[in-house]
Every structure is written in structure tokens, then in C-alpha cells.
Amino acid sequence: MKPLDKIITCKDTSFKPIWIMRQAGRYLPEFRKIRKENPDFISLCLNDDLSSEITLQPLKRFNLDAAIIFSDILMLPYGLGQKVEFEKNFGPKLGKLNLNEITKIDDVDFVEKIHRVYKAIKKVSSDASLKNKNTIGFVGAPWTLLVYMINQQSPKKDLKKDFFRDESLINRVLLIIEKFLKVHIKNQIDNGANIIQIFDSWAGLLEEKNLPNYIYSPTLNLVNYTKSLNVPVICFPREIKNYKEFCDIVKPDAISIDYNVNPQKILGEVDIPIQGGMDPKILLTDKETLKKEASKYLDIFKDHPYIFNLGHGVLPETDPNMFDYLVKTVKNY
């Protein structure tokens, strides 16, 4: 049985596996070299040779328990024909949402456009070095993808003033997103992903009254669908105010917490396996602080099924030596 499955399926508390969000990427010199030669981010995600190589880079350096495919949640709008590009020091920029065009796209068109993501997963999952490790596939949650597709950029602090103006558009787009996320999840699983993580990066933007429509209901549909394919699902509803309510309604197999969450409080509220929590900025400090903070999480969750991770992605300025020290600290706990 692979390491994360022991925690998620068997609720094992005897060891704490580790993988890190954005472990494949920008803090590694070997990644930066590839990135410099491949400035177009979407093309890089769709180059199965390079994206599988990038996915495996951190596992060649560090004793991690899982690989997460090097890709992006915005492969979904890209696969639906919406223009997606990444601008340096700005982030993603999306073209205007054309509902008439998107509704013409079928499963075959969608898969054809991003099939090389699945080829990369197949290469990674069949790599000999991953025989006893998990391969994680992922998607953006319906709400977060809706935000990008309508807002056309990262909302950072706020949504466009008229974001909720056209309710009929929002509901139609949500249904399209949900339909194609299921296609995306199934293709990742068919090519070797044995865990799916759902990233809801902008869950914290919503008022409580809007959670059932935009987060609970559509995410629950995806969780149930993934479970029906006999693959565990981890949810990361970043900065949501009520993790307990989310878990009670959406029922993921494991919940990933952000760094604003009080780990002690969540331990008392949630009985499913927990992942993550530590602030990525701790990796920018010193070894003593890092060991102390990592040990805090390991101590709190010592009798609870727990996967060590950060409360958000590893930062680009992180020293790989500190990353290595973190992995060893968790392994030697």
C-alpha cells in the first residue's frame, strides 16, 4: 500500500508521510533552467516529456512520499477554448468568456486539447522510482475556476464589481465546469493518478450565505464522482471560515488546511485525515525555527492520521537545503 493511502484509507497514525504543494517547480535550479528555455507556461504544461521530468525532479532530490503532476488548474478553461496566458510578475490572464463557443465543445475536443497532461501522468505513474509512492492528480474546484473564467485574472483581494450580476451565466458556466472537471478527473485516474486533490484557492472570498451554491454543492458532486472511481480525494478549501462544516457536508477523504488555521482547533473538530498547515514562510527562516514549527504540527497530530504539507505552495525563494532539512525532520520524527 502506498504511503498516503495508509493515512487516508487505513487511518494509520503510526507515521507521517510528506509531500509539498508546488514541490515541482520554481525553487529548484533544475526547474528554473527548463523554465528559462520554455517561457510559455501553458506549452510547458503540455510538453509531456518536460512536465513529467519536472514532476520527478523533487523526488530525485528529496525523500518525498508522493509526486504531484506539474500542471495547472487553468488547463480546464484552456481545454474549453478560453485564452489563458501567464504574465511575469502578474499571474494568469484569461480571454473574454464566450459561452456560445464553450457550449459547442464536447468531451473529445476537450481531451484532444489537453491530452498531453494525461500522457505526462502516465509517464510519471509508470516510472520505476514511484513504485511505492503516490501519484497525485489535481483539479481546481468549480468555484475557483468560475472566479478565473469570469474575473479573467486572479482576484487577489476582490472580485469584479459586477461579478454576480448575471446569475444565469454563472449557473450555466458552473454546470459546464463541473461536467468537464469530471472528464479531467477520470482521464487523470485512467492514466495512473491514484489520489486527486481539489484546490479551492479562492474559497475564502465568499460570504457564508453563498457557500452552499458555489462551494458545498458543486464540490460534493466532484468528491462523490471521484470516490465512485475508487480513488481517494483531498480537498483544500483555502481560507474557508468553517472547515468542520465543509467536512461534514462535502465529506472528502482528507482535508488540507491553510496556514491561518489553528491546528489544535481543527484537531478537535474534524475526525477525517488532515493534511498541511505549516506556513511556507517558515522555510525562509533558519533550521532551528523550521524544526520547531514542523515538530509542532507533528506533535499536535501525533495520534491523528496526518499528511505533512504546507498551508500553501512552497515559495520560489526557498533554499532547497531548507526543503531537504524539512523532509528529514519529518522522516526522523
pLDDT at res. 157: 65
pLDDT at res. 90: 84
pLDDT at res. 75: 98
Domain of residue 283, CATH code: 3.20.20.210
Distance CA 310, CA 318 (A): 13
Per-residue b/e over 95-134, b at no fewer than 16 CB within 10 Å? eebeeeebeeeeeeebbebbebbbbbbbbbbebeebeebb
Strand partners, 235: 198, 255
What is the amino acid identity at position 39?
P
Q: What angle, rounded to 10 degrees, do the helices at 287-300 and 320-331 form?
A: 40
**In the chain, which residues have pLDDT < 70?**
157
**Count: domains in the chain:** 1
Distance CA 194, CA 65 (A): 13
Instruction: Tell which residue, 241, 238, 308, 239, has the closest CA to residue 273.
Output: 308
pLDDT at res. 314: 98
Q: What is the extent of the structural domain holding 309?
A: 3-331
Report pLDDT digits (tens) over 111-138: 999 999 999 999 999 999 999 999 999 9
